[in-house]
Amino acid sequence: MGRPEQQKQYTADDYFALEAQSEVRHEFFEGEIFAMAGASIAHNTIVGNFYIMLRQSLRGKNCRVQLEAVRLAVEEGRHYTYPDVMVSCDPADQRESQQLRNPVLIVEVLSPSTEAYDRGLKFNQYKKLPSLRHYLLVSQTTWLVEWYQLTEHRAWAHTALAEAEDTLAIPELGLTMTLADVYEEAGVAPLKLNFGSEGQ
């Protein structure tokens, strides 16, 4: 999330009018409008890798994968975002042309300006979506994917994927994706432990 456009309160209708004529995408939360920051090459490559793998895994299923140009109505009239990647299997969403309401999977590629928002307020808001089952936070500075899964007890379980062969497996979406697949050609270095050599 970037900076508010101005220190004033907007209605959801104001926001939709702005989006209809703006070349820059914005997110909306409780009357404030935030311009979206530009993306890095690593960010776009990671997003593309997810799109390719998800498109293949969703063939023959009544699900669709959408990228960051498609808006998500997190809470009607209060919160609208543009997740980096979304998958929806909801029939109503299949008929939409500009925004989704019922994603089963959301992927956010972290950046310094958005990381706290993606981890905190945004995730807390996303948890309110009845359809959501998987939330992925993906580093673009090292090989690390944090996978939050909604359990049958309605609790969010956390799994950290940090090695090349670690696998993101979501059977209901037909998805099997290693960490190496996530970061293919992204120019991001694997996570390494560097404790230094002082005192040795």
Whose CA is closest to 107, among 117, 116, 98, 118? Answer: 118
Q: Which two tokens stand for residue 21?
A: 């004529």
Half-sphere exposure of 63 (CA within 13 A, CB side): 22
Q: Would you state the pLDDT for residue 199?
A: 47
DSSP states along 119-141: HTHHHHHHTT-TT--EEEEE-SS
Arithmetic mean of pLDDT, 68-83:
94
In which band, very low, low, confident or very high, does the pLDDT at 134 lie, cut at 50, 70 and 90? very high
Which pLDDT score is estimated for 194? 59
Q: Is the pLDDT of residue 200 over 60?
A: no
Q: How far is CA 89 from CA 2, 12, 63, in A?
A: 30, 26, 4
CATH superfamily label, 38-182: tt1808, chain A (3.90.1570.10)
CA dihedral 47, 53, 58, 60 (to 10 degrees): 140
pLDDT in tens, 135-148: 999 999 999 999 99
The two three-digit tokens of residue 153, written as one number? 């007890």
Positive/negative CA dihedral, 29, 42, 69, 108: negative
Predicted confidence (pLDDT) at residue 38 exceeds the cutoff of 80 = no
Q: 61: how many CB neighbours lie within 10 A of its CB?
A: 12
pLDDT at 7 over 70: no
Assigned token pair, 100: 């989704």
Q: Residue 2: what pLDDT?
A: 52
Q: What is the pTM of this model?
A: 0.90
Share of the chain above pLDDT 90, in %: 76
